[in-house]
Structure 1
């Protein structure tokens, strides 16, 4: 057995032994009994001074987790960057977000937070957007953990507005705007979404018509549906906007103009000195939102707003003084794809930041569950609510998922950083698909988990001071901006189908889809009737079995989706067939992303240098895998990949692993290394003795 695995008091037969064993029923019975040989000991009675204690559930084989080593491995080389952010804001209580704050006050506070961090704290993340994205995302995550609105405000300034200038512009734009964006002297916004068009960027209707006589572009909002909507930084603070519009060139034929496709333009929207709205620009406040009220979202309408020709961000297409269009890319679709490809950093950042928010929620919920005592055996002390199996079922797979997502998004950031350095075409395609899938999958999971964490903390979870309400409301929009999650999952499914087609045409598969080389041949064969019955713990906790199971499911879904689409296209056409199979395609995309997440987690476990941390990560990784397999056990049963006895063993092992993770849950959340002043919730701090006193003081007792 791998030394990183937990050792049980009763040895389990290996998969190989089970295959040749003459007494399978006896071995199965022994194995099942083993899962029940570890009753939880009653918790210790309260101490004489009645101080609150975090209860430890005594159990066999509890791991000795080195929290400092695990934390060092988790936070990696950018730990110091995040600590700088935390230290600065800890020294500035005046910049910390209070529980109750109005919309207008929150907006001004977020702007002061950004200005203070950059100008007083000396933390300037803009240069890292292109040069070292991992460092930038680490700073952005820390900002978002402090206040989600602040994190988004920072992202709008540097990743969206600033990133569009760096990624879509050329040297002249960098030279002119870099310092102003870096110092926030040039606060800006990213004007892509329109009232009528959001995810369909290619269908945007704002126009930028070139005026040959004046050497200018004229920006127009042709009708109300083309008003730029939900534009962060626009309502109050922005002085510039990167406006996405159809580039229209005059022609000498009867058409009058030629549509060259969507391009990006720098448009000043407010006077640099007076901050007054510039002529032709109309700005309205989008008002109070469900969450993120520290971000000043606005709507923009343009009425014949003139900008110099040089304000076209011309990396992928340019217009000369005489009105001629030039580009290294031959078609509108290729230029559009290149433009969006350079903006993929927004999705990377959202996925990464969503995990940071999930860490906060899981930490609060688990620490409270360890603290809170409720009921228990007759005439004995009450027990921790995390000792209840139902509570473990709620929170322990979520904790495992948080770890899985951490490594998956860290890997995504590393791939994105490498892509920015090399511009390798295969890596560009890989990052595009992976960022779309992870952003959709992780943000959806986090949104659901925030509600679960609130419920797991009962009435105290409903108190605003304990943060679940603000976290849930602020994070909710993560499922929508930078691409609606349902749309992004369709992009993943479409890419999977393209790779499926390449497989049968002998083409080269992109990095993310490498496992399809084997899956379409190996996994599509009939399941092995012997291995489908193996139920030993060694077998179920073997990473090869786990990854094979995930990939088998994806391969089955991909094959059946391709067959269904082919069938329905004959009668419904390609669009109708896609719509007819849409739910199937979304499930396919999610299955693929889960496979990638597990693969990344397995690699992270193997690469961990500290033995105790590696053992803890292996336990958590096994729970992640078993929980996902059990959640979709019907799929595996329907195709005889898992026999009934094996399905029962998976269920019991999932419960047992949840119980074992519960025993080290405190160490696992402590390894996130998030300071108490950042956690802020009284019920979620590391020092539980002070929890209720602080909680009482908050309401005046």
Structure 2
């Protein structure tokens, strides 16, 4: 559910970017659209599988249509663009932007880049920050954005260094890109995670209804912390977090799932999905009540 809302706000952002596009924006918009298509269809596949298993054996019955939905949507992981290829396209765009950024650097911009790296080391990778398990900190939007941005920048910079080394060692660019295939997927994934996070946060900021804002904030926290938990191995390897902190994140994810369950049905109803598209899925509102 948290992923669905993040995708919704992210796709709204993409639509606005496209409607107000300029010629200079088109490459980034195309890369963003490619990545979001892959991200969304993989999420659909995984969500349906989780729903099927949550319904037990009855989830496999044809009358409940989950199996049919799985069959209908599975094709989209390769239809209208193979997801893996689309993610590579997104990653190549990000590497291109990274190269352009450094190509245009002068002494001042290089100094600012190094200064930014130093600030990150001091403010985000100090012993207190890497072990901070305070709930207010773990729910802090700035902590989420810093963590997502750090992952995106580090993976992109690491890939750029690796790509250059492969080419310097004699590989042509095509073969180097193939060798780096897993790394390329990580670049795109980290970039998309950050975009969805930012758009989710922006949507909450634009909400005037305080009750709605409170519910959406819980959902946003769940999206952010679940992603951090998903990539906790990477954060631990980088020294960005210590085990005590990732353990606290895991506990908070479980707590948020419990808190959000009472609002789950209204949050789903907000999508205004026609009843004809819902019946007769086993999890009816009467059963949930």
TM-score by length of 2: 0.90
What residue in structure 2 maps to residue 679 of structure 1? 278
- Aligned-residue offset at 1:564: 0.8
Counterpart-to-counterpart distance in 2, 1:409 and 1:520: 34
Specify every segment of 5 or more residues in structure 1 that has no aligned partner in the other structure, as ranges.
Answer: 1-398, 508-517, 692-701
Counterpart-to-counterpart distance in 1, 2:284 and 2:137: 39
Query: Deviations along 1:519-578, whole A, 9 cap, x unmatched?
Result: 886257532332112111111111111011011011111111011111111232222211
Counterpart-to-counterpart distance in 2, 1:685 and 1:410: 29
What residue in structure 2 maps to residue 487 of structure 1? 85
What residue in structure 2 maps to residue 635 of structure 1? 234
What residue in structure 2 maps to residue 404 of structure 1? 6
Query: Deviations along 1:271-304, whole A, 9 cap, x unmatched?
Result: xxxxxxxxxxxxxxxxxxxxxxxxxxxxxxxxxx
- Aligned-residue offset at 1:665: 1.6
Kept in 1, the 8 Å contact 2:148–2:193? The answer is: yes
Query: Deviations along 1:51-98, whole A, 9 cap, x unmatched?
Result: xxxxxxxxxxxxxxxxxxxxxxxxxxxxxxxxxxxxxxxxxxxxxxxx
Counterpart-to-counterpart distance in 2, 1:620 and 1:652: 15
Q: 1:658 and 1:682, CA in 2 relative to 1: closer, same or farther beyond 3 A?
A: closer
Counterpart-to-counterpart distance in 2, 1:682 and 1:572: 53
Counterpart-to-counterpart distance in 1, 2:261 and 2:9: 21
Residue number among 22, 34, 56 corresponding to 1:458 in the alignment: 56
- Aligned-residue offset at 1:611: 0.8
Q: 1:579 and 1:609, CA in 2 relative to 1: closer, same or farther beyond 3 A?
A: same
Larger Rg: 1
1:605 aligns with 2:204: yes
Q: Give the alignment of 1:246-285 within 5 angstroms.
A: none
Counterpart-to-counterpart distance in 1, 2:249 and 2:264: 21
SS at match of 2:91: helix
Number of matched pairs: 278
Kept in 1, the 8 Å contact 2:148–2:190? The answer is: yes
Residue number among 186, 195, 206 corresponding to 1:596 in the alignment: 195
What residue in structure 1 maps to residue 247 of structure 2? 648
1:577 aligns with 2:176: yes
1:440 aligns with 2:30: no
What residue in structure 2 maps to residue 614 of structure 1? 213
SS at match of 1:530: helix
Q: 1:687 and 1:523, CA in 2 relative to 1: closer, same or farther beyond 3 A?
A: farther
Q: 1:433 and 1:472, CA in 2 relative to 1: closer, same or farther beyond 3 A?
A: same
Kept in 2, the 8 Å contact 1:520–1:555? The answer is: no
What residue in structure 1 maps to residue 108 of structure 2? none
1:522 aligns with 2:121: no
Kept in 2, the 8 Å contact 1:523–1:555? The answer is: no
Kept in 2, the 8 Å contact 1:523–1:552? The answer is: no
Which of the pair has the greater relative contact order for Cα pairs under 8 Å at 6+ separation? Answer: 2
Query: Deviations along 1:380-423, whole A, 9 cap, x unmatched?
Result: xxxxxxxxxxxxxxxxxxx111111111112212222223xxxx
Counterpart-to-counterpart distance in 2, 1:573 and 1:430: 25
Counterpart-to-counterpart distance in 1, 2:220 and 2:163: 35
SS at match of 2:241: coil
Counterpart-to-counterpart distance in 2, 1:473 and 1:415: 32
- Aligned-residue offset at 1:682: 4.2
Residue number among 13, 21, 24 corresponding to 1:426 in the alignment: 24
Residue number among 122, 132, 154 corresponding to 1:556 in the alignment: 154
What residue in structure 2 maps to residue 513 of structure 1? none
Q: Give the alignment of 1:524-543 within 5 angstroms.
A: 525-526=120-121, 527-543=125-141
Counterpart-to-counterpart distance in 1, 2:45 and 2:162: 32
- Aligned-residue offset at 1:463: 1.4
Counterpart-to-counterpart distance in 2, 1:434 and 1:589: 9
Q: 1:437 and 1:519, CA in 2 relative to 1: closer, same or farther beyond 3 A?
A: farther
SS at match of 1:571: coil
Counterpart-to-counterpart distance in 1, 2:144 and 2:240: 12
SS at match of 1:482: coil
TM-score by length of 1: 0.38
Counterpart-to-counterpart distance in 2, 1:522 and 1:686: 51
Kept in 2, the 8 Å contact 1:605–1:617? The answer is: yes
Counterpart-to-counterpart distance in 1, 2:158 and 2:115: 14
Counterpart-to-counterpart distance in 2, 1:580 and 1:467: 41
- Aligned-residue offset at 1:443: 0.7
Bigger strand share = 1
What residue in structure 1 maps to residue 74 of structure 2? 476
SS at match of 1:429: helix
Counterpart-to-counterpart distance in 2, 1:631 and 1:446: 17
Counterpart-to-counterpart distance in 1, 2:281 and 2:155: 45
Counterpart-to-counterpart distance in 1, 2:31 and 2:176: 22
Query: Deviations along 1:287-328, whole A, 9 cap, x unmatched?
Result: xxxxxxxxxxxxxxxxxxxxxxxxxxxxxxxxxxxxxxxxxx
1:657 aligns with 2:256: yes
Moved over 4 A (4+): 518-521
Bigger helix share = 2
Specify every segment of 5 or more residues in structure 2 that has no aligned partner in the other structure, as ranges.
Answer: 106-111
Counterpart-to-counterpart distance in 1, 2:27 and 2:188: 16
Q: 1:439 and 1:682, CA in 2 relative to 1: closer, same or farther beyond 3 A?
A: closer
